Chains A and B, each alone.
Chain A
């Protein structure tokens, strides 16, 4: 069952065009969204959250058009973006205590568990956190209201190998609990480790949206790793 669907999403900037982006996310699966820097990953994700207005196309969650059910859908999804600092000089405790008032589904026990798992101190301010800890704080907010779909923009960027591994393990645990995850990355090993499906975007155009196995079957040459496949495809696209 498709829980999120993008259909023909276009967005034109003076120097870049997101061109008829279409893909879907299957319930309870992890999808890696891969592409080089500037390929259109963040614009696509921002379009999925109504932060960017697509020129055309439709985005639905749980079968409902996002444009008409924005509030209801936002209750059921979680979003985290890399190392952006929200309210850098406010204590985490203060940010959380305000944020949770917007979510009737806020799970205090889950919040406490993730706080401990991520080693975050509520008394600290985002400005006092390392880049990796900022990612974890953003994830903490996204994970604590029992989101059914997580949309994560480069969640592993800035994380040390141990934290990255822990995070990918966490994705797999969440998947077992039925959570659907889309995470963008340019690190192929993240996809190899935990993604069921992948969406590959290059220069604003979706090149592939399928399961990892299908992708390898269709695009890989003998003895090529996933990383080598992407590198070759990118080189071919630029040639």
Chain B
């Protein structure tokens, strides 16, 4: 682990952020919009950013013997680490629901989204949107947090609503596949989510580096 990520984890992060990874367990909650677990994980990351801002973390980091753009790198690395940890929890529990619990009545009788690979693709899409909207927005100024988090909340819940309801649209029922049914489609949606995560994170990271370089601290 590099020094920058260690600094983020030990000085900038709140314990709360690590605890909020546990919201990935919401994947197992029956009759609940399980994609909301993703939002709570991003809320945990937001809390760390808010606390770090009050601790003069950005200026402290910019004074370390690193290039100014590396401050941005540290922030993205930290957010991605938490997101991927949350994703790992959700992926394991999704696999449990797809195999051992594939026929559990409690999950079969569910008007909302089922835990499958399409769900995991949506999780990655939401994390990508968080990186693009919140991280990219915050690093334009290094102090404005609220505005970009509110925008992210709005976008996030539109995505959650659409994803949770998608399988009720005629012709899209296969998105709610149980177990390994429609596995080709499931894999495709997971890959699309992963591609969106990578693209949104990478593009916003590059833009944030340029934005951050220009601002006065």
Interface, chain A (partner B; CB < 8 A): 46, 49-53, 70-72, 74-75, 79, 84-90, 94-95, 98-99, 101-103
* Contact indicator B55/A88 (Cβ below 8 Å): yes
- Select B60's contact among A53, A70, A87, A94, beta carbons within 8 Å: A87
* Contact indicator A75/B65 (Cβ below 8 Å): yes
Q: How far is the CA of A84 from the CA of B57 in the complex (A)?
A: 11
Give the residues in chain B near A103, CB-CB below 8 Å: 65
27 examples of A-B residue contacts, CB within 8 angstroms: A51-B59, A51-B217, A52-B216, A52-B217, A53-B214, A53-B215, A53-B216, A70-B68, A71-B65, A74-B63, A74-B65, A85-B55, A86-B55, A86-B57, A87-B11, A87-B56, A87-B57, A89-B55, A90-B11, A90-B55, A94-B10, A94-B11, A98-B6, A98-B7, A99-B64, A102-B64, A102-B66
Closest Cβ neighbor of B213 among chain A residues: A53
Residue-wise interface mask of B (48-67) relative to A, using a CB-CB cutoff of 8 A (1 in contact, 0 not): 00000001110110111111
Q: Inter-chain contact count A-B, CB under 8 Å? A: 63
Chain B, range 47-94, C-beta contacts under 8 Å to A: 55-57, 59-60, 62-68
* Contact indicator B66/A71 (Cβ below 8 Å): yes
Give the residues in chain B near A71, CB-CB below 8 Å: 65-67
Closest Cβ neighbor of B62 among chain A residues: A51
Closest Cβ neighbor of B59 among chain A residues: A51
| Given A51-B216, A52-B217, A86-B60, A102:B10 Cβ within 8 A | no
* Contact indicator A95/B11 (Cβ below 8 Å): yes
> Contacts A85-B56, A86-B57 given; 11 further ones with Cβ under 8 A?
A50-B62, A50-B68, A51-B63, A51-B217, A74-B65, A75-B65, A79-B63, A87-B60, A98-B11, A102-B3, A103-B65
Most buried by A among B6, B63, B66: B63
Most buried by A among B7, B10, B216: B216
Q: How far is the CA of A84 from the CA of B56 in the complex (A)?
A: 8
Give the residues in chain A near B65, CB-CB below 8 Å: 71-72, 74-75, 102-103
Give the residues in chain B near A79, CB-CB below 8 Å: 63
Closest Cβ neighbor of A88 among chain B residues: B55
Give the residues in chain A near B64, CB-CB below 8 Å: 74, 99, 102
Q: How far is the CA of A79 from the CA of B61 in the complex (A)?
A: 12
* Contact indicator B216/A46 (Cβ below 8 Å): yes
* Contact indicator B6/A49 (Cβ below 8 Å): no
Give the residues in chain A near B62, CB-CB below 8 Å: 49-51
Give the residues in chain B near A70, CB-CB below 8 Å: 67-68
Q: How far is the CA of A99 from the CA of B136 in the complex (A)?
A: 26
**Distance in Å from the Cβ of A95 to the closest Cβ of chain B?**
7
| Given A94-B10, A98-B7, A87:B55 Cβ within 8 A | yes
Give the residues in chain B near A102, CB-CB below 8 Å: 3, 7, 64-66
**Distance in Å from the Cβ of A9 to the closest Cβ of chain B?**
13
**Among all A-B residue pairs, the 3 with the closest Cβ atoms:** A74-B65, A51-B217, A75-B65
Q: How far is the CA of A53 from the CA of B208 in the complex (A)?
A: 16
